[in-house]
Structure 1
Amino acid sequence: MTDELVPDQADAPPAAPPPKDPTEDAAASWLRRVSSSGSTVTVLAFVLALVIGGILIAVVNPAVTAAAHYFFAAPLDTFEAAWTAVSEAYSALFRGAVFDYQADTFAKAIRPLTETMTVATPLIIAALGVAVAFRAGLFNIGGQGQVIMGASLSAYIGFTWHLPAGIACVVALLGGLFAGAVWGGIAGVLKARTGAHEVIVTIMLNYVAISFLAYFLTTEAFRVPGSAEPKSRTVRPEAQLPLLFGSQYRVTWGFVIAILAAVFVWWLMSRSRIGFQYRAVGFNPNASRTAGFSVQRITVYVMLTSGALAGLAGAVQLLGTSKYLTDGIAGTIGFDAITVALLGRSKPLGIFFAGILYGGLSAGGRFMEAVTGTPISIVLVLQALVVLFIAAPSLVRTIFRLPAPDAELKGATA
């Protein structure tokens, strides 16, 4: 009798799931966005590079090597020696790049940070030029030559033209910007008119610029009178970039120029009409051509802009730090700028912090070598590893088991 009154459970409606807490959904969504963001991948790439670099430091350290010979007898000695070697090396790297907490005075303690700013200044400006080309679909590998030509013309103006203080510096900076624009524009015109690949052209122009520099330093117009040394005359004080924090530090107003250059590139690429055309051509030149854009003209403009920023970097380096022209005036600024642009993902803010990071590794690496005897080549390995992991974000996500970005998930399920 009872069974006839009870309904069949199979016909009963399923129980409703408990309502989800919108707070938990929002927190999970936020956590996913943070863990899959490019900034998180960049930070973790740097962490991976530090871990691998620490292993290399321990391997090449003599104390660790000596303790490893009796590892099975006293394994803790090896681990203690490795920890001491790595901690001292990275501590020295921090002291040489950011803050020397063992210095006698505060002024000496912050000097490493100013050295980092000094090294980073031309890198940031040149990397901004490389990034402009990258976002327009072009590969400007000629930053080295553009830096050299910018430094050469700014040096000539700086020690030859007699102009009032301030005006001389501005004119010399504009001269470097102009020389770099011309050198980059050559590749742009050849690309637009003949289809010559900008990578090949800019690489060849690097060698031409190096040869021009070697020639300049043999002429009476550049060389110090009565000297056979390949070195130009010193830039007049009126044309030199003023020091930013006084005579006890080397950082100049070139760092402010680097900040202004980053703001300009942000405005150019994000807010201006010509910047939109740059990005459109880089995204799809065929569609841009259909929309009425002159791809050839924009190609020339992009290379002019990119070269101008690289030339400005050379002028800032010469007028602010070097003060005279030598065959090593550009160092590796043009090539390192490519790395900085990649680290910064071709975004002005990212490039600024990537330049600071790169400058810190360079400045701190020298201090680390002097204090601990760690080869500075370890710093080069760190830089290379960071670039490697930045260029392979899927590898970083796999190692740390991070979720893929939403765009990749949508593409995989489409």
Structure 2
Amino acid sequence: MPLLNKLRSGSAVATKPPTGLTRLRVILTVFFALDGFIFAGWVVRIPAIKEQTGASASALGLALLGVSAGAVITMVFTGRLCRRYGSHPVTVVCAVLLSLSVALPPLTHSAAALAAVLVVFGVAYGGINVAFNSAAVDLVAALRRPIMPSFHAAFSLGGMVGAGLGGLIAGSLSPTTHLLGLTVIGLLVTAIAGPALLHLQPPNPPAGRTDPEETPRRLDSRARRLVLVFGFIALCTAFGEGALADWGALHLEQDLDAHPGMAAAGYSLFAGAMTLGRLSGTTLLERLGQTPIIVIGGATAAAGMLLGALAPTVWLALIGFAITGIGLANLFPVAVERAGALAGPNGVATASTLGYGGMLLGPPAIGFMADWFTLPIALTSVAVLAAIAALIGYGTRTPRNPRLDSLQ
């Protein structure tokens, strides 16, 4: 009982975690980083793929819809797969599929064919995101610390490296060779990290926490509403991340006459700023709490994206992208962690599905707005949604929920 009281009071937070939990944290971090690396490697080659397929802005937007459509459809079922087979095997299988499918876009020569292969890529991307986020939520509960931002920092760091590498080789290496290289790297990393992950059992839920399989059936109406609220905040965040991933480089290159390498560096800078924000996320959550993180982050992202979209020079736009990355950094991990704490894998799946619904709406919406108005004006929609997330975070502030606080 004294030990249990110490854990509940937080006095044992500094205790060194068991070796198995530390290994699990390292391996999950590797998969988060690999996911970001592969995804960023793809997005920085979108301008070249657009030219290769001859697609208009709206046609490209519809083709990019394939990623989000595949992701959202898969996320609906991945929570069930994680409960049945475990989040670790699902993570490994999806990592293999993600690595293989990233090599397909350069093989297409029409917007329709591009959309078809991007559905496959989206299936893998959506599946791995639900699976390793579910595993991370269990680990957060076992460690009793809000470390979720550190995993998403690894995703952003992988994105920064992937985008930076893509920018360096964009002018000298074809998209086919580049993305095939990502396939080889992804399969090698999975071959090393996958067996280690499969040999580690998911951590047991802490005392007093319900079984994740039973949690979704026992949620009260307030908890269900909270899951949906967190999911909508994730939607606003994913819309912004997807917009900068899919359209940021094109905006810099097309509207501000940036060199292809500089255009690719725009997403790298965004991902780098997001990485820094997420690396400090655990400390900020422990000191400030969830609501200030959402409110301040949403407001900061809104201001940064207005600058990034409307700035008259490349350098000002890059500064705006960096500010946006800092602002958006911790909104998605906070939303997914809280939804998972309330409803287990189903909560992660719900928040992720709504979140990537933002990506589902984002590419075609921005593409059509770019045709109707201009791409800079279309990108201001990111600022609008970030501001809405901040308002929702402020409007739904409530006394601290013991069920949520048990993870902090």
Instruction: Give the TM-score of the pair, scaled to structure 2.
Output: 0.31
Q: Which one has a bigger Cα radius of gyration?
A: 1
The answer to which structure has the higher helix fraction is: 2
* TM-score, length of structure 1 as denominator length: 0.31
Larger RCO: 1 or 2 (CA < 8 Å, sep 6+):
1
